[in-house]
Amino acid sequence: MIKQDKNRVFHYLCDSKGVILAGDMKIFDIEYTVDTELRSIRIKDKDIEEIEDILANLTFGQPYLFSELEKSDIYLAASKLEDRDCILVSGYRSNKIKNYRTMLINGNRALIVTLFGCMSIIIILIGRLYMKQQKRAMKGQARYDILSEFSDTVLFEYDCLDKTLVFTPNITTLFGLKEIGQIRPFENDTDFAMVHPDDVEKVKNLLSTIGDKKDEIDDFVIRFKDKNGNYRWVRWMGRLVRGRLGTPQVFLGKISDVQDEMTKEQDLLEKASIDGLTGALNRKSAEAKIGELMQNKNCKGYLFMIDIDDFKTVNDTMGHAMGDLALINLVKILKENFRKDDIVGRLGGDEFIVFMTDTEFAADAEAKGAEILDVLAASKEEPHFTISVGAAAYPAAGQDYENLYLSADHAMYVSKKTGKNRIHVDNGTVEKNDEK
Q: Which residue stretches of 150-198 are H helix?
A: 171-174
Does 67 map to a domain?
yes
- Together in a domain, 350 and 404: yes
Q: Which domain does 364 fall in, by range?
A: 274-426
- CA distances (Å), origin 261, targets 152, 198, 224, 233, 235: 15, 20, 15, 9, 10
- Together in a domain, 247 and 291: no
Q: How many domains does the chain have?
A: 3
- Together in a domain, 396 and 302: yes
The pLDDT assigned to 96 comes to 55
- Together in a domain, 85 and 200: no
Does 155 map to a domain?
yes
Please identify, among 70, 97, 124, the residue that sits at the C-terminal boundary of a domain.
97
The pLDDT assigned to 91 comes to 77
Distance CA 231, CA 306 (A): 37
- Together in a domain, 30 and 162: no
The pLDDT assigned to 73 comes to 65
- CA distances (Å), origin 146, targets 3, 170, 199, 207, 238: 89, 10, 30, 27, 20
Does 164 map to a domain?
yes
Does 390 map to a domain?
yes
Q: What is the mean pLDDT for each group of 10 consecutive residues in the chain (436 residues)?
A: 50 81 63 77 81 82 67 74 77 63 58 64 65 54 49 80 84 72 71 80 82 74 83 87 83 86 83 90 94 92 97 93 96 96 96 96 96 96 96 96 96 96 90 51
- Together in a domain, 305 and 259: no
The pLDDT assigned to 1 comes to 43
Which CATH number characterizes residue 386's domain? 3.30.70.270
- CA distances (Å), origin 260, targets 175, 233, 265, 433: 15, 8, 9, 54
Does 111 map to a domain?
no
Does 209 map to a domain?
yes
- Together in a domain, 286 and 244: no
Which CATH number characterizes residue 88's domain? 3.30.450.20
Phi first, then psi: give them for residue 134, nearest 5 degrees: -65, -45
- Together in a domain, 20 and 74: yes
Overall pTM surpassing 0.75 (yes/no): no
- CA distances (Å), origin 85, targets 17, 66, 191: 9, 20, 82
List Cβ neighbours of 237 (8 Å cut-off, separation of 6 or more): 217, 218, 219, 253, 254, 256
List Cβ neighbours of 172 (8 Å cut-off, separation of 6 or more): 178, 179, 180
Please identify, among 219, 243, 263, the residue that sits at the C-terminal boundary of a domain.
263
Q: What single-letter amino acid sits at 235?
A: R
The pLDDT assigned to 105 comes to 56
- Together in a domain, 280 and 420: yes
- Together in a domain, 288 and 189: no
Distance CA 365, CA 430 (A): 15
Does 110 map to a domain?
no
- Together in a domain, 323 and 415: yes
- CA distances (Å), origin 175, targets 145, 180, 253, 328: 17, 12, 17, 41
Distance CA 227, CA 93 (A): 92
Please identify, among 205, 237, 263, the residue that sits at the C-terminal boundary of a domain.
263
Does 169 map to a domain?
yes
- Together in a domain, 291 and 221: no
The pLDDT assigned to 49 comes to 84
Q: Quote the DSSP letter at residue 339.
A: -
